[in-house]
Amino acid sequence: MTATSNFGGERRPVGFVPLAWRNLLANKPRLLRSSGGIGFAVLLMLMQLGFERAFFNASLEVIRLLDGDIFLQRASKYRFATKDPFPRRDLEAARTVPGVVNAWPLYADWHHVFWQNPTNDKNFLVRIFAFDPDQPVLPLPKLEGSPKDLSDLDTGVVDRRARRFLGMDPQPSAAELNGSKIKIIGSFALGPDFENDGTVVIGDRTFAKLLPNSRGGPPDIELGVVRLTPGSDPTTVQQAITAAVPSDIAVLTKAQLLELERKFQADVSSAGPIFVMGTLVGFIVGLLISYQIIYTDVAEQQPQYATMKAMGYRTRYLVQVVLEQAVLSALAGWVPASLVAILLFRIVGEVALLPLHMTLELALVSLLLTVGMCLISAMLAVRRVISTDPAEVF
């Protein structure tokens, strides 16, 4: 059937892309204009998407770094960055559960420790993390210095990427935390998030001295980091730990811990909707610009399209050419925009100390949006080709 229907006079298109490609290149100034127009719309989308991801990633960064399989925290803890610790004995209960290799504490504080900038003696609130230096449950990115040295009392490592006004970069040799002298023995590169300007990591003994437990004894634990024996089933062990600890302790996998934080950020912060709206505007503006470009082009080429129709090319083929050209225009806008975005992300990321990165996901999402927006415009503009009547040309 198909063979016979193809028989009568219909020409198969020879090349695949060349016609669309030539159309695109025919008018160089217009190409420049179109990739500029589409490119800026893409850049707007990329920036908004990039900011949105940076916002969420900054708050998730520390959780991602944690070196463990199962985590224990107070069930009433509604987000990661809030102090709501639990007693040490609850973590010890988890340690005895079969399948658990070990369970170590992470101590933290977000609102009670002030760092004195050694260059100007000004005090600023910082985020504090602490652990047993022999059990570094929070591996620090690009750490220079040995975490073992944190076992000495009154030592700490600081964040090179903390906000500049804290004076942590270059790393000072000593500083003050809540008025007591701390020797700085190294630094790491973590970066601030939207609430914390900088981070100091200290050993558990220093933490106990800095923020003593009001009830006496060792400080309460912010997060219990549990490692499982290889091959054990996390769900089974998770259930066993839940049964072994009091009901006011939540036992979570890393995915659940991340999800809790993501959900909190999405519910409470207005960042999500703000950036989604920016992306949407970029998309619609891009749609308008690409429609304008493709429509003009189709209109100008109308006699040529009519001629091709008269020669026997099917409407389908002509539509295909227009769509291909739309995809090419999309690429012509997307490629430079992505390159500019990579550069902008680097600059803004360094200045604002935000984790702004051009990830594969971001590249793919923006590429899909760009191609989608150009294809929609092409489909709207192509009606003109369909209506092309060979007779009108003459």
Partner 1 sequence: MNFALAWRILTHDKGRTALAVAGVFLAIVLVFVQLGFFIAVPRGGMLLYDRIGFDLLVASTAYEYQVQPGEFPVSQLDRAKTAPEVALAAPLYFGSAKWRSGEDGKAPDVFVIGLNPQAQIFTSEDLNRQLAILDQADTALVDSATRPMFGPLTAGRVVEIDGDKLKIGGDYVLGTGFMGLGVILISAKNFGRLFPFRNLDQVNLGLIQLKPGVDPDRAAASLRKLLGTDVQIFTHPKLEAHETAYWTTRTSVGLLFGSGLIVSFIVGVMVVYQILATQVSRQLPQFATLKAVGYGDTFLSGTVITMALLIVLAGFFPALAAALGIYAVIRDETLLPVEMSGARIAAVFAATLAMAAASALLSMGSLRRADPADLFG
Give the binding site for partner 1 (CB under 8 A): 29-30, 33-34, 36-37, 40-41, 43-44, 47-48, 51, 74-78, 82, 84, 111, 122-125, 163, 165, 194, 197, 214, 267-268, 270, 273-274, 277-278, 281-282, 284-285, 288-289, 291-293, 295-296, 344, 348, 351-354
Cα–Cα distance, 73 to 373 (Å, whole number):
45
DSSP code per residue over 125-190: E-EEEEE-TTS-SSPPTT-BS-GGGGGSTTEEEEETTS-GGG--SSPPSEEEETTEEEEEEEEE--
Rg from Cα positions in the chain: 30
Amino acid at site 312 = G
Residue 158: what are its φ and ψ, rounded to 5°? -120, 165
Q: How many other CB atoms are there within 10 angstroms of residue 370's CB atom?
A: 29
Cα–Cα distance, 116 to 113 (Å, whole number):
10
Q: Considering beta carbons, is residue 144 or 195 the nearer one to partner 1?
A: 195
Cα–Cα distance, 266 to 53 (Å, whole number):
12
Residue 73: CB minimum distance to partner 1, A: 12
Helix (H) or strand (E) holding 85: none
Q: Considering beta carbons, is residue 40 or 107 the nearer one to partner 1?
A: 40
Q: How many other CB atoms are there within 10 angstroms of residue 118's CB atom?
A: 16
Give the pairing of strands 249-253 and 114-116.
unpaired
Q: Considering beta carbons, is residue 32 or 311 the nearer one to partner 1?
A: 32
Q: Considering beta carbons, is residue 279 or 388 the nearer one to partner 1?
A: 279
Q: Considering beta carbons, is residue 48 or 325 the nearer one to partner 1?
A: 48
Q: Considering beta carbons, is residue 12 or 215 the nearer one to partner 1?
A: 215
Q: Considering beta carbons, is residue 137 or 332 the nearer one to partner 1?
A: 332
Residue 32: CB minimum distance to partner 1, A: 10
Residue 65: CB minimum distance to partner 1, A: 21
Q: Are 91 and 85 in contact (CB under 8 A)?
A: no
Cα–Cα distance, 168 to 176 (Å, whole number):
12
Q: Considering beta carbons, is residue 69 or 193 the nearer one to partner 1?
A: 193
Place of tokens 């981070």: 199
Burial of 340 (0-12, 13-18, 19+ CB in 10 A): middle
Residue 176: CB minimum distance to partner 1, A: 13
Q: Considering beta carbons, is residue 80 or 104 the nearer one to partner 1?
A: 80
Q: How many other CB atoms are there within 10 angstroms of residue 14's CB atom?
A: 7
Q: Considering beta carbons, is residue 21 or 264 the nearer one to partner 1?
A: 264
Residue 264: CB minimum distance to partner 1, A: 9
Place of tokens 């500019």: 340
Longest Cα separation, the chain: 97
Cα–Cα distance, 93 to 74 (Å, whole number):
14
Residue 368: CB minimum distance to partner 1, A: 20
Residue 196: CB minimum distance to partner 1, A: 11
Q: How far apart are the first and last CA of the chain?
A: 36
